[in-house]
Amino acid sequence: MKEGFRVYDTDTHIDPGADVLEKYVDPGFRPRLDDLAPYRRAIKSRSVDGSIRHTYSFAHKAYERTLGEAEPRPGSADGCAWRGERRPSPGVVDDRSDNRVLDMDVEGSDVHFLDKRGRASPTCRSKSG
């Protein structure tokens, strides 16, 4: 709550990493994980610890949008520049709901709507939606 108002964050992104997806994958699919090995990439997390996490990347396409501009800027990677005041706690885009709740408390947010549409992901490797 901020200044007496309930706060709803409607732009909370999730982007489960390969380690999380592999942990919860359907047992029937588990034997096929080796087929995904060529698409598994190590990336630097945007969380406060800056740790390395793994993700799957298919058909790489740069995110060419710049905050505040109506049209894409070809060749730009400005959409990958961090614009927040505070970096997220480790694992909030994966499966660390405990850290998500701690971040919400710090931000004064009451409700987060989790969004998997688009790719505002740590690598800005593609967009969809």
| pLDDT tens, residue order, the chain (129 aa) | 677 877 777 667 777 888 888 988 999 999 999 999 999 988 887 777 778 888 888 876 666 767 677 787 776 665 566 656 777 788 877 788 888 888 888 878 787 776 665 444 433 343 443
Establish if 121 belongs to a structural domain. no
Note the pLDDT of residue 51.
Answer: 81
Which residue range is the domain that position 15 belongs to?
A: 8-115
pLDDT at 125: 40
Question: Tell me, what DSSP letter sits at residue 8?
Answer: E
**How many domains does the chain fold into?**
1
Q: For residue 123, which phi and psi values (nearest 5 degrees)? A: -100, -10
- pLDDT at position 91: 80
CB distance 94 to 20 below 8 Å = yes
Q: Which pTM was predicted? A: 0.59
In a domain, 1, yes or no: no
* Partner residues linked to 103 by β-bridges: none
Whether residue 124 lies inside any domain: the answer is no
